[in-house]
Each structure stands twice: as structure tokens, then as C-alpha cells.
A = this chain, B = another copy of it.
Amino acid sequence: MLKIKIEKTAHPKPKPTGPLGFGSVFTDHMFLMDYTADKGWHDPRVVPYAPIVLDPAALVFHYAQECFEGMKAYRTAAGRVQLFRPDKNGERLRSTHERLCIPPIPVDDFVQAVKALVAVDKDWVPAEEGTSLYIRPFTIATEAQLGVKASSAYQFCIIASPSGSYYPTGIDPVRIYVEDEYVRAAPGGTGAVKCGGNYAASLLSGEKAHRLGYGQVLWLDGVERRYVEEVGSMNCFFKIGGVIRTAPTAGTVLPGITRMSCIELLEGWGYPVSVAPLPIEDVMRADEDGTLEEVFGTGTAAVISPVGELKYRDRAAVINGGRIGPVTQRLYDTLTGIQYGRLPAPQGWITEVE
């Protein structure tokens, strides 16, 4: 158990009015905890939201020894505030820390920290349909020296941002560009963890997709550029001839918590789920022979994002007439139902913030 000090702001900010965007308005407080070699992780505290002050030689600015998590707090119709599987974010952060040589934070401490911040800023959890409080835990290397080595000092920080509905005008399928020039991850690299570098590397491809008129990219594997991996910042599922297929996460694909939850729900509903390498040609061939039934991305931001079109080289596959399919819709309704407390949750999926 952390002993978290709470220092409340003397100058609460006005809450945003009007439609909420994503990730640009922040609550009154943040959680901080420091690491040094002699003290370990220490001084956990909730303090007023304030700038981070670092020496220009801090390692985070040079060698990107930094990582993050992404999760949400949801307000139920009854006014309660709840988190969705926060322990899974804690476990993923721990494995990211390990890959980046950052000392671990116990999962229980992580969950406690998230709950402490959300409890203090509870009034910031919005209540309108589809809105939530986006929570961003992140760790940065703070030692000020330029040798390429793991930092001896870190700061773990949690900030939070009230966020609008991802689908303010109803669920709108995205058009996806299959990226076969740039690569997101390769075996032996960092694709399976949530480090900053993965996202910096993806920006150019995202800009290219936008220029070509697509909303996101579908990444192929870094070795053969043949197997489907992820869609932008989401995992990706394909329903082909009745079977629901998704890439294994081993080494190169981020193990999404929404992905994991979808697999568990689908298996519970009796759908055949195949977690195995899936060549993009098989997807395009399924489109040709009419067996490509549904495609969707999964991630905390959108929960479920139906894919309406998939463009690979000179072929554009239009999926289910460009409309959301029934399995996609059922997953969306079920997950959001659980998150907002409208449906009962499987054991351990919901953590209430008192």
C-alpha cells in the first residue's frame, strides 16, 4: 500500500463546457512518484496539475526512455465512477518498464495511484453519453547525463483529461490504408510494449494515410510485410467465413486490453476465435470470394472501431457494404454496457472509485 499525500489545488479550474475533444483539457491534479537508486519509488503524491521541470540533459529528451498507459474512468447512470480492468494496465506497464530497463511499479500500487487521482478529480468525470475521463499514466527518465544507459532516476506521473464521445454522430466505419512501406515493429524490438518510440516511428505513415484520404493504417509485420498486425493504435480483428481472426501479440503487437476482453467475450458467446498469423493476401482473397464479413479495431479510445474499407496496393475491399457488422455491434454494445454500468461485468473487470 502506498502512503499517498494529497495536496489539493487552491485554484480549481473551470470545467469545460460544450463538446469535449480528446486529450487537450486536463483536470486540477496529477499524481507523481519519484524513483532514485537509493530510495526506490518514493514520495507518491497527488498535487495540483503543474509543469514538469527537467534539466536539458534529462535522458527522456535524448534516448526516449519513456512509456505510458491509456485507460478511462466512466460515470454510470447512477453517478458512480468506475475503471475498466485497471490491473491489466498495471501489468502491461510493468512489462513495458522491463523492456525499457525501468524499475517496476507493483500492479497494486499502480491501481491505487490511478484511483487516488480519480477520487480527487471525481467531479471531472463527465456524465454525457459516451464521454469519459481519459487517464494517462506515464514514466520518464530524469537523470541528467548523456551516456547511453538506463537512467538512475525516473518520475511516474498520471494526468487525466475529460474526453468527448468518440462517435458524437453515431458509429462511423473508418477507411484503412494497408501500409507496406513503413514498419511499426519487428521481432526483438519494442512492438509489444507501450514505449514512446513506437509512436514517433508511426507518425510519417499516419500522415501519408491522411494525405491519401484514409483514417488509419493497417501495419504489416516487419519481416515479411505480409501478416496483419495492428490498425493505427488499435488491435485488429477479421471475421472471415464465420471465424474471428486476430494477430498473436508475441513480440510485435501491443497486447490490448480491449482485444483481450473481446476475445474473452467472443469465446464466451461461442464464436470460433483464431489467434494466428494472418496474411494480408488471405484477407484480400476473402474479400474477393465474399467471405470477408467484418473487420474492426479495438482500443481504449474508440472501444470498437468498425472498418468500412481496406485499401491494399491497387485493391480496395469494402466490408459489409461499409456498415458496421453484427458481431462488431454486439461487442461495442457489450463493452460499453459494462464500462458504463448498464450491463453486469465479468468477475474482476470493474473497479469502483470511491
Contact = CB atoms under 8 A, between A and B. Distances in A.
Interface of A: 22-24, 26, 30, 49-58, 60-66, 68, 99-101, 134, 136, 138, 140, 144-150, 157, 159, 161, 181-190, 195-204, 206-207, 222-223, 225, 232-233
Given A56-B52, A199-B62, A22 B146 contact: yes
Contact of A188 (B24, B199, B225): B225
Given A54-B54, A62-B136, A200-B65, A186 B101 contact: no
Contacts of A185: 186
A306 B55 CA distance: 34
Most buried by B among A60, A63, A185: A63
Contacts of A52: 53-56, 58, 61
22 contacts: A23-B145, A52-B61, A56-B159, A62-B68, A62-B138, A63-B196, A64-B196, A64-B199, A64-B200, A65-B200, A100-B204, A134-B146, A150-B203, A182-B189, A183-B188, A189-B222, A190-B200, A195-B200, A196-B196, A196-B200, A197-B197, A197-B198
A197 B185 CA distance: 12
Contacts of A200: 63-66, 100, 190, 195-197
Given A61-B66, A183-B188, A188-B225, A203 B149 contact: yes
Given A186-B222, A188-B181, A148 B24 contact: no
Contacts of A55: 51-52
A150 to B, nearest CB: 5
Given A53-B51, A186-B186, A186-B222, A62 B196 contact: yes
Contacts of A66: 61-62, 64, 200
A190 B186 contact: no
Contacts of A140: 61
A285 B204 CA distance: 40
Given A186-B189, A204-B100, A157 B222 contact: no
Given A26-B57, A189-B201, 4 more contacts: A23-B145, A57-B136, A62-B196, A195-B200
Nearest to A219: B188
Contact of A186 (B99, B149, B223): B223
Given A182-B189, A203-B100, A22 B147 contact: yes
B62 A56 contact: no
Contacts of A100: 200, 203-204
Contacts of A138: 61-62
A203 B65 contact: yes
